[in-house]
């Protein structure tokens, strides 16, 4: 245990000295902040109406069903609001009781046409004989926000793996790996000591990312369990980057290559029909993405978390067994 802790402290000191660890911590947080702004902008793309208070509460309530409503006291206030930089349609009523839509000419198609359709329906409602049923899919968050959050968490694992990989590269460049081979440090202790940094980075960043993206209400225990199992991907990526790179330039190139299967697993999970998911199900990040996506949707059970974790650990172990000789040569 003492030797594992010594390896971890050495990696931590090395990462802080070259600002690598700080970059890997703040890069996902910065991306989360940018993504939060994007989500807010997408949310603000809903229809907006500047409505004259004289139209009455019933009409105001009707428009609230279709978008955001701002109520004004007179037509001049509405005209000033419509002339603003954002996309707003003004709704007022004249002395004859006719509804008037106020536009400045630069609105989108929906902002121009939907207010007319709403008014037409209020003035001349059509009773259509249509039977329908409502099905609650249980989705309470924007799909864009949900997928973006799960993808960003996977990026955290990749960057945490880069921390492990670049620490190994630094030791290779400093010829310290050769010295470790003649010390009492066992292979398990070396792997465990190197892995702690990546594991700590993953756990330390995942929760702030969720908080920034306003997803703090998710089941944190399930997030923790999924993060622990997915950290095996971090360890695999880190040792592959370290073993296959002779210097930091090669390390950066291999990091970019490692992002390809990560991206493929996410795109495949989203775009392929369920019966074609076997094309990407051999990638551990596929199961990690499914796990985080369903946790954020509040639809993941502990049994599903266990199944996804078993797939992740099994696939990572299989990859280690297949690539063990290459990794041993790379860190020898």
Is residue 149 exposed (0-12), middle (13-18) or buried (19+ Cβ within 10 Å)?
Answer: buried
Give strand pairing partners of 92: 100
User: Which pairs from 10-17 meet CB under 8 Å and 24+ separation?
Assistant: 11/163, 11/164, 11/167, 11/193, 11/194, 11/196, 11/197, 12/197, 14/167, 14/170, 15/163, 15/166, 15/167, 15/197
Go through 26-48 and write b for each residue having 16 or more CB atoms within 10 A of its CB, e for each that does not. eebbebbeebbeebeeeeeeebb
d(CA 223, CA 59): 45
What's the pLDDT score for residue 299? Answer: 83
CATH class of 46-123: alpha beta
Residues 169 and 242: beta-carbon distance below 8 Å: yes
Residue 48 phi, psi (nearest 5): -130, 135
What's the pLDDT score for residue 135? Answer: 56
Phi-psi region of 320 (alpha: psi -120 to 50; beta: other; left: phi over 0): alpha
Residues 141 and 210: beta-carbon distance below 8 Å: no
What's the pLDDT score for residue 318? Answer: 95
Q: How far is CA 251 from CA 25, 47, 169, 276, in A?
A: 18, 47, 8, 33
What's the pLDDT score for residue 223? Answer: 94
pLDDT 10s digit of each residue in the chain, 332 long?
676 766 667 666 666 666 666 777 788 889 888 888 877 555 555 688 999 999 989 999 989 888 889 999 899 999 988 887 678 899 999 888 889 999 988 778 888 899 999 988 888 766 555 555 555 555 456 677 888 899 999 999 988 888 888 888 877 776 666 666 666 666 666 667 777 877 888 888 899 999 998 888 889 999 999 999 999 999 898 889 888 888 888 888 988 888 888 899 999 998 888 889 999 999 999 999 999 999 988 888 999 999 999 999 999 999 999 988 888 887 76
Give strand pairing partners of 15: none
Give strand pairing partners of 71: 51
- Distance from CA of residue 32 to its chain's centroid? 8
pTM over 0.75: no
Domain ranges of the chain: 2-39+141-331, 46-123
Query: Is 48 in a helix, a strand, or coil?
Result: strand
What's the pLDDT score for residue 314? Answer: 96
Residue whose tokens read 């209020």: 122
Structure-derived torsion over alpha carbons of residues 320, 315, 169, 253, reported in degrees to the nearest 10 = 130
What's the pLDDT score for residue 233? Answer: 92
Q: How far is CA 326 from CA 109, 179, 187, 189, 312, in A?
A: 59, 20, 15, 19, 21
Directed axis angle between helix 187-212 and helix 143-173, to 10°? Answer: 150
What's the pLDDT score for residue 290? Answer: 94
What's the pLDDT score for residue 302? Answer: 94
- Distance from CA of residue 128 to its chain's centroid? 42
């Amino acid at each position: 245990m003492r030797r594992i802790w010594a390896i971890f402290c050495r990696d931590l000191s090395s990462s802080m000295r070259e600002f690598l660890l700080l970059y890997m911590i703040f890069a996902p947080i910065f991306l989360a902040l940018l993504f939060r702004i994007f989500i807010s902008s997408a949310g603000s793309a809903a229809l907006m109406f500047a409505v004259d208070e004289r139209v009455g509460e019933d009409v105001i309530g009707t428009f609230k069903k279709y978008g955001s409503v701002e109520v004004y006291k007179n037509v001049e206030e509405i005209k000033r609001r419509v002339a603003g930089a954002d996309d707003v349609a003004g709704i007022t009523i004249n002395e004859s009781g006719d509804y008037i839509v106020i536009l400045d000419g630069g609105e989108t198609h929906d902002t121009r046409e939907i207010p007319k359709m709403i008014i037409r329906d209020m003035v001349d409602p059509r009773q259509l004989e249509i039977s329908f049923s409502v099905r609650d899919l249980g989705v309470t968050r924007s799909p864009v926000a949900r997928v973006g959050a799960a993808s960003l968490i996977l990026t955290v694992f990749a960057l945490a793996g880069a921390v492990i990989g670049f620490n190994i590269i630094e030791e290779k460049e400093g010829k310290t790996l050769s010295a470790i081979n003649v010390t009492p440090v066992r292979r398990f202790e070396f792997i465990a000591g190197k892995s702690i940094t990546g594991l700590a980075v993953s756990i330390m960043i995942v929760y702030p990312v969720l908080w920034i993206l306003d997803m703090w209400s998710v089941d944190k225990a399930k997030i923790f369990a999924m993060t622990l199992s997915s950290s095996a991907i971090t360890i695999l990526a880190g040792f592959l980057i370290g073993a296959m790179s002779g210097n930091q330039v090669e390390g950066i190139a291999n990091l970019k290559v490692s992002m390809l299967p990560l991206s493929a697993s996410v795109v495949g999970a989203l775009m392929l029909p369920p019966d074609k998911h076997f094309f990407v199900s051999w990638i551990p990040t596929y199961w990690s993405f499914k796990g985080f996506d369903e946790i954020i949707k509040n639809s993941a059970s502990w049994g599903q978390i266990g199944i996804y974790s078993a797939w992740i650990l099994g696939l990572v172990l299989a990859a280690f067994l297949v690539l063990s000789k290459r990794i041993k040569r790379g860190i020898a």
